[in-house]
Structures are given as C-alpha cells and as structure tokens.
Structure 1
Amino acid sequence: MSDTFRTDQPLAWTYHRGTAGRPLTAPDTVSSPQPGREDPTAPWVPLPPGVPIDTPLDGLVRDRVSCRAFQDRPISLPEFATLLRIGYGTTGVTDDGPLYVVDRAVPSGGGLYPLELSVVVRSVDGLPAGIYHYVPLADGLERVSDGAVPGSLVTHLFLGQPWAAEAAVVLVLSAVCARSLLKYGDRGYRYLLLEAGHVAQNLVLAATGLDLGAVNLGGFLDNELSGLLHLDLESEIVLYGTAVGSPSSADRTGRRALGRLDG
C-alpha cells in the first residue's frame, strides 16, 4: 500500500506543489490595497472599553483547553469587545516620518490584512442576537442581520458539532483573497491560512484569560456558512471558526467533554 503524500492525497499534493516557493518577480503594475468589507449603510454598534487580562502569557498557554461544554449564560459586552480586539484589532500607530502604519494584533504577509471577522451572536449582554461584522479600524460592529440563528442550523453548518450552537458567540474568519493573492500569487493562499491561525490562537488565549471556554472549528459547510454571513462567494472565503462561551465545568476534563465526540 502506498504511503506517499503525492499518491495518497493528490489534491493536497497539487495545492502544496502549486504554491511552492519561487523567486519573486515584480508585477507589471503595482496593485493598490484592497478595501475592507465595511458597509456604511449597516446599523452600527460601538464597542465599550474591554476587560483587562492580567494573566501572564505562560499561564494562558498552560490553562488553554478546547471547551465543548457551555452553560446557557451570556458573556458581557466588554468581554466580547476584548475578544475582538485581541483577536484581530488594532494595537496602536507607528508614525515615523514617511512611515505611517496602523499596528494590528497579529502579523500579516505584506501587512495586507486580508481577513474579515464575522460573528454569530447568540447570547451577549447588551447586544441583540444576530450576525455582525467587526470593523477593527473603527472599533465597532456592523449589524449584518437581526435575530437569533436557530441552533439546529448552526449545528448543521458546523457539521453536527452541537457545541457551536451552545456557545455564546461563534467568531468566523474569512479572507478577501485578492488582498493577498494580487501581490503573492497562488502562494498568497498559504498566507491566508497562516494568518487565520494567528488570529484563532489570539482568540482562544483571550478567552482563557477571561475565564471563558473556547473551541476552534475547522469543519463547516463552506457555501452555506458563507450565505448565512452574507459573503460574496466569488471573492471572500470562509477559513476558520471559534466558538466562545461560559464553560459548564471548572476542570479541564469537564471542559473537554470528550464523550461528546463519540456521539
């Protein structure tokens, strides 16, 4: 039986080799940065001050654990604001003569920041249930649609993972591909995935510091989830999700709820 990457997983192999590193060549024309996905006509929700996280980084890394057991309790709006800012927010400005850069919470290939952060909100104090889009540079939320998304639909969209529907929020990372690929070509697709990983790690560490539970969600129905979030399938793709809420257990084993993986 073959055990080679190339023959056993031909699609993955084709992607890997098709995006292999090659010498960079200057494009014939320099593309301008692609704008964000802001909608000035959408209802606007400014974010309040957040919640300080005093736990040292090594403590956050040590305490982090995937949580699949949430209690039916809302998280606060300041906690939610903290998650968004630490996940993919702005951290300051570097203004050094000709250099003016808005600093962000994660590194990004070429400083292009191709990701967008949408949120399915089920239970946040002071924020009606619905779907929202985070706008980092304005530090607020655009309301995409009103009303709670049925739990059965959320579970379906995340391939039968019931904890996605039970969490207070599900944060969904998507990528506007042209922002990266216009500069880096096909290899830019790798950079989208790397950046999504940076953001997801920030989110789970922030949740840990807030004594919330979090679990990353890599399995979902791409087209259907994109439709729910009102994304343009031709230009913006869903990459990753993170469910966050109040854990139903104080110990690591209880939070993991490994028995639910068998059901």
Structure 2
Amino acid sequence: MRDFRFADDTPTAWTYHRGTARWLFNASASGESPPVVPGREDGGLPWTPLPASGGLEIGLDEAIRARLSCRRFRPDPLPLPVLGTLLAAGYGVEQRSGPVMQDRPVPSGGGLYPLELSLLVRAVDGLEPGVHHYVPAGHGLERVRAVRLPEAFLVYLFMGQPWVAEAALVAVISFAGERSLPKYRDRGYRYALLEAGHLMQNLNLAATALGLGCVNIGGFYDDELATLAGMDIEREIPLYCSAIGIPDAAASDRMGMRALERGAPSR
C-alpha cells in the first residue's frame, strides 16, 4: 500500500494547515480584541421566548456512556421546554461577568463567542415549521423564515442522508468571522472549528440526558444551507449540523424516556 502524504494527497487541507501554522516570525500575528460585535439577531422578527432551563437529571458519566448516533426518529414533535433546556446547555448565557462579557458553557478564544446557532424546524410544539435563530442573551428564538421543509429537499440539502428528514429539527452551527478574525487572523478559523466541536458535544450530551436522539452531520451543500438559514455567506459560514428528535422505540430503550416524558404530551 502506498504511503499517505498529507501534502501530496490532500493539498487543500495541507495548504490550510500550513497557512495557519505559527512560527517565531509570525507568532505575534494576533491583533487587538475587536469591538464587541452583536449576534445576527434582528429585533424585528417574530419572537418566541423559551422556558427557563429545566436542568439535566442524569450525571455526566451516564450521559457519556449512553451517547450514540441516532438515525431513526419518531414523528412526535419536540416539547418546547425540552428544546429550551437543550439550547441553554449548548450555547446559552450562564451568567454575566460584566456589562459586556457573557459566560457560556463552552470555551471560546478571547471570550468572543463567534458562533451562531440556527434551527431548521420540522416538528416542535409552539414553533412554526421553518428556520429559527437562537438568541442566547434573551434565551429565545426569532423566526427567520416560516416554511415547511419537504423531506426530499432536506435529503438533498444534506447530501442524501435520509434520517435528517425524519428528525424534529436540525441544529446548524455557523461562524461569524468578524467577531474573532480581526483579533486572531487566519488562526481564528481553527479556533472557530474547535469551539464548534465543544458546542456540538454539549448538544450531544444534553440531548442524551433529555432522552433525545441526535446524529451529527458534516456533509451538506454550504451555500444552499447558508441561504436557507438567512446567512450572508461572505460573512457567516455553516460549519457543523446535528439532526435532533425523539428516537424510535428501539433507540429510546437505551436511555429510557424518563426526562422527555416529564415534559412531553402523551400520545
């Protein structure tokens, strides 16, 4: 078998890696912290406040051991209180360190928190189907676009993955570069990818603790997803997604439905 060579076999990835590497002559490339840039929220859009986080009633050890990718979902809608707890655990504002700084449940380079969290909603109690944007400081959702998302379209958008169209929603993590790249330059893109991983793991473990199923997705058509979610692709780019919903009976047996049943209507 031929030896794999990073530079020869995946030149684009190698160029990115070496282009963002640091050496003595460029180690001081970071600039001053940019002025605080607000999130993508728009005060004129329809607003849905989320219930306060209900907390997670299983320990971290149990959630880690029980986490698995779910590719079979029930058609039941997600209860709004469960969604509120999930988003707060993922990227909510825990407390304020001052008038500007916001503490979140994930680490962020320079405390700049350049990520955004959007939802492609198919079935959530109290939310119209369509695209919603999470506003952490207000712990609520603004409706970017009211539209029913056909299954065939979602399967296309996520490059033929059929389970995406069965989930109650798809969470989309995106990166707003102007919030961190002025300080960290090209290295800031690496930091954004790391932060997206922290955020996604929080969503995964919180979903598991809430009795939900999720499967993470890296394959999608970037420009089409950005347009659907209301992003300016020159300023904000989608990085990582997760299909989230109520797992079918076989998958839910692994965790039990105890957390979910406390807030879900009987069916």
1:243-262 map, 5 Å: 243-251=243-251
- Separation in 1 of the partners of 2:252 and 2:4? 36
Change (3 A) 1:26 1:83: closer
Displacement of 1:192 in angstroms is 0.8
The range that moved more, 30-39 or 237-246, is 30-39
2:183 paired residue number: 183
TM-score (norm. length: structure 1):
0.90
- Separation in 2 of the partners of 1:141 and 1:4? 46
1:125 paired residue number: 125
DSSP-derived class of the 2:89 partner: helix
1:80-91 map, 5 Å: 80-91=83-94
Displacement of 1:100 in angstroms is 6.3
Displacement of 1:193 in angstroms is 0.4
Displacement of 1:35 in angstroms is 2.0
Displacement of 1:49 in angstroms is 2.5
1:15 paired residue number: 16
DSSP-derived class of the 2:159 partner: coil
DSSP-derived class of the 2:226 partner: helix
DSSP-derived class of the 1:182 partner: helix
1:99-248 map, 5 Å: 101-248=101-248
1:24 paired residue number: 28
Residue 52 of structure 1 is aligned with which of 52, 55, 64? 55
Note if contact 1:176-1:236 (Cα within 8 Å) is conserved in structure 2. Answer: yes
Residue 82 of structure 2 is aligned with which of 79, 88, 101? 79
- Separation in 1 of the partners of 2:170 and 2:100? 33
- Separation in 2 of the partners of 1:251 and 1:36? 36
The range that moved more, 7-16 or 45-54, is 45-54
Displacement of 1:30 in angstroms is 5.6
Note if contact 1:133-1:144 (Cα within 8 Å) is conserved in structure 2. Answer: yes
TM-score (norm. length: structure 2):
0.89
Displacement of 1:254 in angstroms is 9.0
Note if contact 2:30-2:183 (Cα within 8 Å) is conserved in structure 1. Answer: no
The residue type equivalent to 2:96 in the other structure is V
- Give the aligned length: 251
- Separation in 2 of the partners of 1:237 and 1:186? 15
Unaligned residue ranges in structure 1 (runs of 5+) = 256-263
The residue type equivalent to 2:168 in the other structure is A
Note if contact 2:155-2:162 (Cα within 8 Å) is conserved in structure 1. Answer: yes
User: Runs of at least 4 residues of structure 1 off by over 4 A?
Assistant: 251-255
